[in-house]
């Protein structure tokens, strides 16, 4: 919908691809659906949920056995994003390296995007 022909809207690191593929196989889901919603102290939050169907307007990214569906309203906010999966002693989580983010809150859960209305 908002993508660049021949280029994936988002990329997955090898760690993210492995984790998403593992989640798909374990529970029999078609993939993960990624979106954004209003919330948090910076204004927007990423959403991730298991997906059992592919919606016709989803942007579908398949990489190394992993499948990510980007919800239509989130596509313009996620173009160029790299998704990683990080593991530390205390937590494991997906992280987003998004060039469209201009501000993030201290907790790392909430983001603010570049104002596209001024363009």
CA distance 93 to 76: 23
* Stated pTM of the model: 0.79
Residues of the chain with pLDDT under 50: 1, 116-119
pLDDT of the residue at 32 = 94
Taking the domains of the chain in order of start, what are their residue ranges? 10-113
DSSP sequence for 79-108 = TTEEEEEEE-SS-EEEEEE-TTEEEE-TTS
pLDDT of the residue at 115 = 64
Quote the CATH superfamily of domain 10-113.
Answer: HesB-like domain (2.60.300.12)
pLDDT of the residue at 8 = 75
Q: Containing H/E element for 49?
A: strand 44-51
pLDDT of the residue at 18 = 96
CA distance 27 to 68: 15
pLDDT of the residue at 42 = 57
CA distance 59 to 53: 13
pLDDT of the residue at 20 = 95
């Amino acid at each position: 919908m908002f993508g660049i022909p021949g280029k994936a809207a988002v990329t997955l690191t090898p760690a993210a691809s492995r984790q998403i593929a593992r989640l798909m196989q374990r529970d029999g889901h078609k993939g993960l659906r990624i979106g954004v919603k209003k919330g948090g102290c910076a204004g927007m939050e990423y959403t991730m949920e298991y997906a059992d169907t592919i919606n016709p307007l989803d942007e579908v990214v398949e990489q190394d056995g992993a499948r990510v569906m980007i919800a239509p309203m989130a596509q313009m906010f996620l173009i160029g994003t790299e998704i990683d999966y990080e593991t530390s002693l205390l937590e494991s989580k997906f992280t987003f390296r998004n060039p469209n983010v201009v501000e993030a809150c201290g907790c790392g859960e909430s983001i603010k995007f570049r104002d596209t209305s001024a363009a």
